[in-house]
Amino acid sequence: MGDFDFVYITQTVGDGLLFGSTYALIGIGFTLIFGAMGKLNMTYAAASLGGAYVGLAAFTFVNAPALVVFLVSALASGIVGFIAYLTCFRFIPIHNHLAALMASIGGLFFIDEIVIHTTDGSPLTFPAMFEDVMFELGPLGIRGDLLFVFAVCIAATAGLLFVLYRSRLGLATRAVSQQDVAARLCGIDVHRTNAVTFVLAGLLGGIAGAMTAAAVGVLSPLITIPLTVKGLIVTVIGGLGSIPGAIVAGLMVGALENVFLYFRGVNERDMYVLLLLFVFLVFRPHGIFGSAISRD
Amino acid sequence: MLSIRNLVTSYGNIEALRGVSLDAAQGEITCLLGPNGAGKTTTMFTVAGIISAKSGSVTLDGEDMTRLPAVKVVSRGIALVPENRLVFPYMDVEENLRAGAYARQASKAEISDDVAAVFRRFPRLEERKGQLAGTLSGGEQQMLAIGRGLMARPRILLMDEPSVGLAPLVVEEIFGIIRELNAEGVTILLVEQNARMALRVAHKFYLIEGGEITFSGIPGEFDEDEVIHRAYLGARKE
């Protein structure tokens, strides 16, 4: 619990913004699937960390380099995303939102249990990159590993936006999320497109999971629920279904969380983050980028 | 060309269509009229493959289309311009059109040519090609929905209530477009509640009530008011 020190606060906010990029990525994943199906995929953060665990296995057993670890994390999480789609969404009647929600909450705990049983629930060290690098910026320092995490998250987001806005696949994804009947009339296969959306979100989640672990330095099942909650908070604050909203909200939550940490300590930090969510729900329930155009 | 025989469609236990039969001839405008809830949209959705038929058949030039999913129906030549237009609100005008060609195995150049053709037909869409479709006026959205349907290069264009929710002047404009399209050789199956307007463009009409075709004919052979009155459509002439 610090005093008001301008340099230190700037440092804190800066670190928070960098780390917030992982929240943004998780938020984008939630929002992507919500946009496509109007449903929350509660398995998402668990799948993301699950992917990171598979990446970690590649590190532990074949001593794969960090970049390969991140790639394996992304791929594994993409596969888990596809499985989550098949088990929790594909065959549940489209209008039964509660069933899909409950199924995916079940999926969340299922993935979490698998992780706990295979790791005995103990935290494992996760490889970081550029850990020892520190950039000096006057009185401020930028941690190399956080900067790397930030850069990867930006690249992943840019890649996603490219797919969404420049590819045939992205056209289909957006069409289904905006008007599914019209999408079908245009010849777009809604089920296949939804599956692709889950895989895309999963790839992104795996990167986010790996980056979270890389920034913290460890992977632990204890991260699952907080990351789920943070992801949902970011999604709601950003505006359900809004990718720019998730980006802004992710960075904002990352920064503010560090400020709360600085002033009030780690025990109270998440309380203030939840308070922030509450403030948004009361005063701006549609989030930062609430939809301007009503949907048919 | 399009031939519907004894089509039965139900929502759960409720039969929405109870054996609908109709024919739409090549190069003509065939009009399906009827009051709210008569089964007009259900007929369109069943033909387009959005809803699956319980029994009966739909054939296009002799090719069986019954119970094909929408994805296949559109690639085999039936495009539906849905009621309420259903444009993709957060896509710009040009992307909406490109989405309409999604099912086609066509080169980029071919699709760009077709987008340009739609823009020639609807210059107002070209003026707004970078604008989000959700911000267009109702009439413009209807033009966009028609353009999107044409992008599929259909053999027959299905149009569900293109005049709904539009101002009278815009309705005139839309019906002008329908007439023009037909003059260029597009075969159209049109569903309308605005019977008076529809009868002016139709070559043949069917009346549907309670999920059944109750009457059919050629507009010129009947007194317009009589047809409208018989189907309890629109207002009677004072």
Least trusted range by pLDDT, from A279-283, B93-97, B218-222: B218-222
ipTM greater than cut 0.95 = no
**Quick one: which H or E segment has residue B235?**
none
Cα–Cα distance for residue pair A205/A26, rounded to 1 Å: 6
Which residues 71-110 of B have a C-beta within 8 angstroms of A?
71, 74-75, 79-80, 82, 84-91, 95, 98-100, 102-104
Burial class, B220, CB count within 10 angstroms (exposed 0-12 / middle 13-18 / buried 19+): exposed
The four Cα atoms B77, B82, B85, B86 give a dihedral, to 10 degrees, of: -90
The pLDDT assigned to B196 comes to 85
| B144 in contact with chain A, both atoms CB, cutoff 8 A | no
Rounded to whole angstroms, the Cα distance separating A69 from A206 reads: 10
Instruction: Identify the pLDDT of residue A296.
Output: 33
- A257-294 pLDDT, tens per residue? 999 999 988 888 989 999 999 999 999 988 888 754 44
Q: Is the CB of residue B222 less than 8 Å away from at least one CB of chain A?
A: no
Q: Which of A211, A268, A159 is nearest to A20 (CA)?
A: A211
A183/B95 touch (CB, cutoff 8 Å), yes or no: no
Option in B84, B88, B103 nearest A187 (CB)? B103
Per CB-CB distance under 8 Å, the chain B contacts of A185 are: 48, 50, 70, 74, 79-80, 82, 86
* E strand residue ranges, A2-125: 124-125
Nearest CA of chain B to the CA of A142: how many Å?
38
Domains along chain B?
2-233 (3.40.50.300)
* pLDDT at res. B59: 96
pLDDT given at position A2 = 56
Task: Indicate the fold that domain A6-283 takes in CATH.
Answer: ABC transporter involved in vitamin B12 uptake, BtuC (1.10.3470)
Structural contact between residues B187 and B159, judged by C-beta atoms closer than 8 angstroms: no
Q: With CB atoms and an 8 Å threshold, state whether A187 touches B86.
A: no
The structure's pTM equals: 0.89
Which residue ranges make up each domain of chain A? 6-283
Q: Is A169 on the interface with B (CB under 8 A)?
A: no
CA dihedral B174, B176, B181, B184 (to 10 degrees): -170
Half-sphere exposure of A23 (CA within 13 A, CB side): 30
- A208 closest CA partner among A239, A247, A169: A247
- Judge whether A296 is closer than 8 Å to chain B, CB to CB: yes
> Which of A181, A293, A294 faces B50 most closely, judged by CB atoms?
A181
Q: Report the Cα B176 to chain-centroid distance in Å.
A: 15
Residue A89, C-beta contacts closer than 8 angstroms, at least 6 positions apart: A37, A39, A41, A100, A103, A104, A194, A198
**In which region does residue A134 sit, left (phi positive, over 0), alpha (psi from -120 to 50) or beta (all else)?**
beta
Q: Does residue B223 surpass a pLDDT of 90?
A: no
User: Residue A21: enclosing H or E segment and its boundaries?
Assistant: helix A6-37
8 Å CB contact of B89 and A189: no
Q: Which residues of B touch A179 (CB under 8 A)?
A: 86-89
Confidence class of residue A16 from pLDDT cuts 50, 70 and 90? very high
What number of C-beta contacts closer than 8 Å exist between A and B? 78
d(Cα A112, Cα A114) in Å, to the nearest integer? 5
User: Which has the closest alpha carbon to B45: B58, B36, B60?
Assistant: B58
Residues 6+ apart with CB under 8 A from B146: B81, B122, B157, B159, B162, B177, B181
B153 and chain A: CB distance < 8 Å anywhere? Answer: no
